[in-house]
Amino acid sequence: MKLSPDGYRLPSGADPLEVVHQHGTPLFVYDAQVIRDAYTRMVRAFDVPALSINYAVKALQNINILKLLGDLGAGLDCVSIYEVEAGLQAGFEPRQIIFTPSAVSFEEIKFAHALGVRVNIDAIPLLERFGVEFPGASVCLRFNPHVFAGGHRKISVGHINSKFGISIHQLPHVLRLVKRLDLRVEGVHIHTGSDILDPDVFLAATEILFNTAKAFDDLEYIDFGSGFKVAYRPDDIETDIETIGQRLSARFNDFCKEYGKDLTLMLEPGKYLVSRAGYFLVRTNMVKQTTAAVFAGVNSGFNHLIRPMLYDAYHHIVNLSNPHGKPRIYNVVGYICETDTFAIDRPIAEIREGDILAIFNAGAYAFSMASNYNMRPRPAEVLILDGKAHLIRRAETLDDMMRTQIPLPDLFPDKDITV
């Protein structure tokens, strides 16, 4: 979002205040052009025989976003059977979907196999059961490279204490099972976590996977995960995708020559594709000064955007209603009856009651992690597509939240509970 003399404009040029006028607040707004640009940039960064960009559905699950990415040529990386089914409903072919769950029941894995999607297994007990039930089947294996890639400890998943993946030190056991159960390993996979900045750390993990891949004769693809960092602060740095693309492509092409056939290089970006496309627009309910701080309280909370409270994540915030106002220092807080903070000691153009604030980088792990805590409905979602604002999810209502509850008519039949 850029500031002009006339106020802030979304990347595609739309006026966010006009979108608020049409659809209200709180409101998630996604700019399709930003997603298209990120996808194109990633594809252009790699020069390999075959490239498959599988969008990580958990980042943002709206079916219109899935269709947009499918139209660009993406596949899907899914972590639940419901994400798989949503992908199929969005028009993806089963083999365009890779199912990479963790600690799920075997029933989900059986269902995914029956649907014909690629199954990625990250635990030896599941691999053994899969082989017993489906001898001769094709499967992908997720390995844990025991590499700490940096970033917040809660989003680093390739270290030795992580629940994800089969330890690379268990490879001999895996090979015995694969041979005994007559399984065909079509792919190998790692994912070290999010917010990767150092190409050398990422590439060190890929070397571990290359060495592991040599143990399997029938590979079709190697999946290197993702976790590429995007800029959150105005002066922030991000993953140099061009450097990673150039270096990984060269190494991958050499490996294909050693392996004796061309393989597909797979990646599974989520945040990289959609984070910067999203803005969360909220209305200021009150401005409250205490002896310690000035609070700007808004009509949302961590029930809609939990990342600041869960990961100590920074999200840039601007005042759309007073874009050229004198900056003051605010704590931006939500309406949830808990410690519920979006920003602390943040310089923002002077905020008045009723002003609309925009919270940046709300495209990934925002709506998809939202809840009804405090019995607050989840917001609407809007997609800016070719200059027009399209409502792609209406705001929830009380009826929506009550729909799955089943009143017991005979509960306390003799009590008068009328208020």
337 is annotated as an active-site residue: yes
CA–CA separation, 53 and 67 (whole Å): 14
- Give every CB contact of residue 24 below 8 A, 6+ residues apart in sequence: 380, 395
Residue in 297, 274, 247 with CA at minimum distance from that of residue 367 = 274
Query: Using CB atoms within 10 A of its CB, is residue 403 exposed (0-12), middle (13-18) or buried (19+)?
Result: exposed
Q: Which of 78, 140, 256, 337 is catalytic?
A: 337
CA–CA separation, 70 and 66 (whole Å): 6
Two tokens, residue 89: 């409903």
What are the helix (H) ranges across 281-408?
Answer: 307-311, 398-402
Q: Which residue has the tokens 């922030």?
A: 236
> Residue 116 in contact with residue 98, Cβ under 8 Å?
no
Angle between helices 241-259 and 32-45 (to 10 degrees): 40
DSSP 91-154: T--GGGEEE--SS--HHHHHHHHHHT-EEEE--HHHHHHHHHHSTT-EEEEEEE------S-GG
Angle between helices 124-133 and 106-115 (to 10 degrees): 50
- The helix (H) or strand (E) run that includes residue 392 is strand 388-393
Active site residues: 337
